[in-house]
């Protein structure tokens, strides 16, 4: 009887041990499996950018003598535009952009006596430059950029019965800082601030000064336009 009990105990223990081994083996195998996901390779691609900014006021003035001067400011306002950007390598791009601002410029000048008038001013920037991106993570993309190009200015005197107007094209440059926040792989929100400057843009070439729009003064005033705003960016990448 004792032999039968010993044999039964051995058989039962062997069966229980085999069940434990069978049940634990898959768990041990699963824990040792490592899944590796390969990141897609970078390919050059285009981005389309839409911009909406608020441009701040900027003072312009020129003083040649007590009877030959002007001073005033170019009023800030809503500025809009767009850009075509080519991502050449990871973190580096080239962008062609256009920005426009329609505004006013109240001026004081001397013409036999001190006079005041307000000009309608249209500013157009056509700029090309490079942007450097700093990838914090796939969703947040800080950047900085420099640009050069031209500023095209059109000026009309608002005075009654005045047919005076002027226009000029000047060398321009720009600098910017910003952040892209990607909602999806294709669409992102753009936050940006920066400065555009047209060198020697306000002065004789734009006919601010003595005699109103019709006559210019002999010196110039460089125009600095700070802005803040944002927009949207659209990636054309196939990845």
Domain spans in the chain, listed from the N-terminal domain onward: 45-235
Q: How many CB atoms lie within 10 A of CB 223?
A: 24
pLDDT at residue 67 in the model: 67
Give the pTM.
0.74
Please state, in angstroms and rounded to a whole number, the distance separating the CA atoms of residues 38 and 41.
9
CATH code given to domain 45-235: 2.40.160.20
**Helix residue ranges, H only, the chain:** 2-31
pLDDT at residue 68 in the model: 66
The answer for residues whose C-beta is within 8 angstroms of residue 202's C-beta and 6 or more apart is: 60, 62, 74, 208, 220, 221, 222, 223
Spatial CA neighbour of 159 closest among 112, 201, 205, 107: 107
pLDDT at residue 141 in the model: 95
Q: Tens-digit pLDDT profile for the chain (239 aa)?
A: 545 544 454 444 454 435 544 444 444 545 565 655 566 688 999 999 999 999 999 887 766 666 666 778 889 999 999 999 999 999 999 999 999 999 998 888 776 778 788 888 899 999 999 999 998 888 999 999 999 999 998 888 776 555 556 778 888 999 999 999 999 999 999 999 999 988 765 554 454 544 444 434 334 556 788 999 999 999 998 76
Residue 181 CA from chain centroid, whole number: 12
Beta carbons of 205 and 220 less than 8 angstroms apart: yes
Q: Quick one: CA dihedral 161, 215, 62, 174, positive or negative?
A: positive
Q: How many CB atoms lie within 10 A of CB 143?
A: 18
pLDDT at residue 53 in the model: 97
pLDDT at residue 39 in the model: 62
- Indicate the Cα dihedral angle 131, 135, 140, 142, nearest 10°: -40
Three-state SS string across 60-73, please?
EEEEEECCEEEEEE
């Amino acid at each position: 009887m004792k032999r039968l009990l010993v044999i039964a105990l051995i058989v039962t223990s062997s069966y229980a041990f085999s069940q434990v081994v069978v049940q634990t083996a898959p768990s041990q195998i699963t824990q040792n499996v490592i899944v590796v996901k390969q990141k897609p390779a970078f390919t050059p691609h285009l981005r389309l950018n839409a911009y909406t900014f608020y441009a701040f006021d900027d003072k312009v003035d020129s003083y040649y003598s007590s009877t030959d001067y002007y001073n005033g400011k170019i009023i800030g306002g809503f500025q809009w535009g767009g850009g075509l950007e080519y991502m050449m390598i990871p973190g580096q791009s080239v962008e062609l952009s256009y920005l426009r601002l329609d505004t006013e410029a109240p001026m004081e000048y001397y013409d036999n006596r001190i006079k005041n008038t307000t000009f309608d001013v249209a500013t157009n920037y056509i700029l090309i430059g490079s942007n450097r991106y700093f990838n914090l993570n796939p969703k947040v993309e800080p950047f900085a950029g420099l640009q050069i190009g031209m500023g095209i200015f059109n000026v009309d005197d608002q005075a009654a019965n005045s047919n005076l107007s002027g226009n000029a094209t000047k060398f321009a440059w720009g600098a910017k800082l910003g952040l892209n926040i990607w909602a999806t792989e294709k669409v992102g929100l753009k936050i940006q601030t920066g400065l555009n400057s047209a060198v020697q843009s306000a002065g004789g070439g734009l006919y601010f000064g003595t005699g109103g729009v019709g006559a210019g003064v002999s010196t110039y005033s460089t125009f600095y336009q700070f802005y803040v705003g944002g927009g949207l960016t659209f990636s054309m990448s196939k990845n």
